[in-house]
Amino acid sequence: MNNSEDIIILALESSCDDTSCAILKNNVLLSNITANQSVHKQYGGVVPELASRDHQKNIVPVVDAAVKAAGVKLSQISAIAFTRGPGLTGSLLVGISFAKSLALALGVPLIEVNHMQGHILAHFIAEETSPGVISLSAPEFPFLCLTVSGGHTQIVKVSGPLQTELLAETEDDAAGEAFDKAAKILGLPYPGGPLIDQYARQGQPARFKFPMPHLSSHNYSFSGIKTSFLYFIRDHLKENAAFVENNLPDICASYQHHLVSYLLKNLKAVARETGIRQIAIAGGVSANSGLREQLAAMGREENWRVYIPKFEYCTDNAAMIGITGYYKYRQQAFSDLKATPLARYHL
Ligand code: KG4
Ligand code: ZN
């Protein structure tokens, strides 16, 4: 049953290559449906034009499925939340245009959401695990969030649901790109991050070494690591054409271990500096099993409370846009019909 004070949010996410729609009643997720695009695999990366065409194809069936799965009527919806950026302009446009049309048709407000804020607030998505039982395990404020995705690497201080302060950021590539580009060098399909993770499980993380960048703990840089990986593979292939084939698990385990150690080295420094011991991770790379394990171990050493999102809320999804929409609705932070996509959208 719905209480008239319940806030029902329909949320859309279309910033990259996943078309997703979620429905939330207050902070509780009712449905979350995502269509993944496989068209990009053969190109070794997301092709923006193909992504926007697929969003256009997927958005009506995805919204339809989410509304049906949630068991709500369109007339009950309080607001439409959408990802305004950062992301691919053509992909964002599909979600934004759809959100505007639906808001106009239903006579409800629009709420724009920053995708990176969404990744962080994924920790606040509550779920009904059995009838009447709501489950939520969210960090307390303030906490630090290491947000690692295909386009971003950030350490953010989160003092409230909508109060964020950027403490560290990458100067060049993102952590996800460091995984995906290495996978491409190894001849693996896009996105390579999950595949490196899979091979790494059978490999030895201490077998090969890579250089550690020497920057302040408030900056990340992955381009040097990626180049050293390229030379490492090239040099070994000169001596042994079957090097990759014969050593794939050890290569993946060593490279993953290196990236994760680097991510956590800065996180530890920033945590010590700020004295904050509530630590969370978010974004696609937070699905990485090596990161999850090494973070848990560091958390025990550093006496942290560690928060790791459920797998389905690590990679892109509309549930995280919906929870952010819910907090913005409570502040009446609405957008108007003039909202345009923001390819770059700072926290
Ligand atoms: O957050 P996300 O779904 O999309 C962006 O906002 O970019 O992140 C996608 C990134 C890709 O680079 C993908 O390879 C990486 O997350 N990723 C992983 C894993 N799962 C997804 N990287 C390493 N290990 C994983 N298990
Ligand atoms: Zn993302």
Joined tokens for residue 140: 């307390």
d(CA 233, CA 230): 5
Q: What percent of the chain has pLDDT over 90?
A: 94
Q: If you take atom 10 of ligand 1, which residue's CA is the nearest one?
A: 150
Whether the model clears a pTM of 0.85, i.e. scores above it, the answer is yes
Joined tokens for residue 33: 């449906």
pLDDT, averaged across the chain? 96
Please work out whether the CB of residue 290 comes within 6 Å of at least one atom of ligand 1: no
Our mutation pick for probing the ligand 1 site, out of 285, 288, 314, counting the most ligand atoms within 8 A of Cβ, is 285
Ligand 2 centre to CA of 126 (Å) is 19
Ligand 2 centre to CA of 115 (Å) is 6
Q: Is the pLDDT of residue 178 over 50?
A: yes
Measured in degrees and rounded to the nearest 5, phi and psi for residue 187 equal: 80, 20
Range of lowest pLDDT (1-5, 28-32, 315-319): 1-5
* pLDDT of 2: 58
* pLDDT of 44: 82
* pLDDT of 4: 72
Residue 183 CA: nearest ligand 1 atom is: 14
d(CA 189, CA 185): 10
CB 283 within 8 A of CB 152: yes
Please work out whether the CB of residue 179 comes within 6 Å of at least one atom of ligand 1: yes
Residue 150 CA: nearest ligand 1 atom is: 7
d(CA 234, CA 240): 10
d(CA 251, CA 183): 10
Our mutation pick for probing the ligand 1 site, out of 83, 315, 316, 347, counting the most ligand atoms within 8 A of Cβ, is 315
Residue for token pair 């025990």 = 300
Q: Is the pLDDT of residue 3 over 90?
A: no
pLDDT tens, position by position, 226-254: 999 999 999 999 999 999 999 999 999 99
* pLDDT of 291: 98
Residue 70 C-beta-side C-alpha neighbours within 13 Å: 30
Please work out whether the CB of residue 122 comes within 6 Å of at least one atom of ligand 1: no
Ligand 2 centre to CA of 150 (Å) is 7
CB 230 within 8 A of CB 278: no
CB 330 within 8 A of CB 107: no
Please work out whether the CB of residue 315 comes within 6 Å of at least one atom of ligand 1: yes
Confidence band of 43 (pLDDT split at 50, 70, 90): confident
CA dihedral of 41, 224, 347, 6, whole degrees rounded to 10 = 40
Vertex 340: Cα angle to 335 and 343 (nearest 5): 120
Ligand 2 centre to CA of 284 (Å) is 6
pLDDT tens, position by position, 294-304: 999 999 999 99
* Across 48-72, average pLDDT: 97
Closest CA to 193 of 244, 225, 150, 155: 150
Which ligand is located closest to the Cα atom of residue 255?
1
The packing angle between helices 193-200 and 243-274, to 10°, is: 100
Please work out whether the CB of residue 284 comes within 6 Å of at least one atom of ligand 1: yes
Ligand 1 centre to CA of 286 (Å) is 8
Which spans in the chain are helix H?
A: 48-70, 89-106, 115-121, 175-185, 193-200, 223-239, 243-274, 289-302, 319-330
Confidence band of 54 (pLDDT split at 50, 70, 90): very high
Residue 119 CA: nearest ligand 1 atom is: 1
* Across 309-315, average pLDDT: 94
Q: Is the pLDDT of residue 1 over 70?
A: no
Ligand 1 centre to CA of 303 (Å) is 27
CB 334 within 8 A of CB 109: yes
d(CA 61, CA 81): 18
- One-letter amino acid of 7: I
Joined tokens for residue 176: 């996800």
Closest CA to 274 of 116, 171, 141, 167: 167
* Across 287-300, average pLDDT: 98
